[in-house]
Copies of this chain bind each other. A is one copy, B any other.
Amino acid sequence: MAAARTLRIGLIPGDGIGREVIPAGRRVLEALPASLNLKFSFVDLDAGFETFKRTGSALPDKTVEILKKECDGALFGAVSSPSTKVAGYSSPIVALRKKLDLYANVRPVKTTAGHSTGKPIDMVIVRENTEDLYVKEERTEETPNGKVAEAIKRISEKASSRISTIAGEIALRRQKIRDVAPGSSFRTSPMVTITHKSNVLSQTDGLFRETARKALAAERFSSVEVEEQIVDSMVYKLFRQPEYYDVIVAPNLYGDILSDGAAALVGSLGLVPSANVGDGFAIGEPCHGSAPDIEGKGIANPIATLRSVALMLEFLGEEQAAAKIYTAVDANLDEARFLSPDLGGKATTQQVLDDVLKRL
Contacts and interface: CB of A to CB of B under 8 A. Distances in A.
A85 interface: yes
A232 B257 contact: yes
Interface string A267-295: 00100000000000000000001000000
Interface in A243-269: 253, 256-257, 259-261, 263-265, 269
A230 interface: yes
A81 interface: yes
Interface in A213-267: 230-233, 235-240, 253, 256-257, 259-261, 263-265
A210 interface: yes
A90 interface: yes
Interface stretch (A13-21, A34-42, A152-160, A347-355): A152-160
B133 A153 contact: yes
B231 A257 contact: yes
Contacts of A203: 138-140, 149-151
Nearest to A161: B146
A204 B150 contact: yes
B149 A207 contact: yes
Nearest to A210: B85
A85 B140 contact: no
Contacts of A81: 199, 230
Contacts of A204: 138, 149-151
B235 A200 contact: no
Contact of A153 (B146, B150, B239): B150
A94 interface: yes
Given A235-B260, A236-B264, A239-B261, A158 B138 contact: no
B260 A136 contact: no
Contacts of A202: 85, 90, 136, 138
A240 to B, nearest CB: 5
Contacts of A261: 235-236, 239, 261
Contacts of A260: 232-233, 235-236
A236 B264 CA distance: 5
Contacts of A94: 200
Contacts of A3: none
Given A138-B203, A236-B260, A152 B154 contact: no
B257 A235 contact: yes
Contacts of A138: 201-204
12 contacts: A133-B200, A133-B201, A134-B200, A136-B201, A139-B203, A149-B203, A149-B207, A150-B152, A151-B201, A197-B253, A232-B257, A236-B269
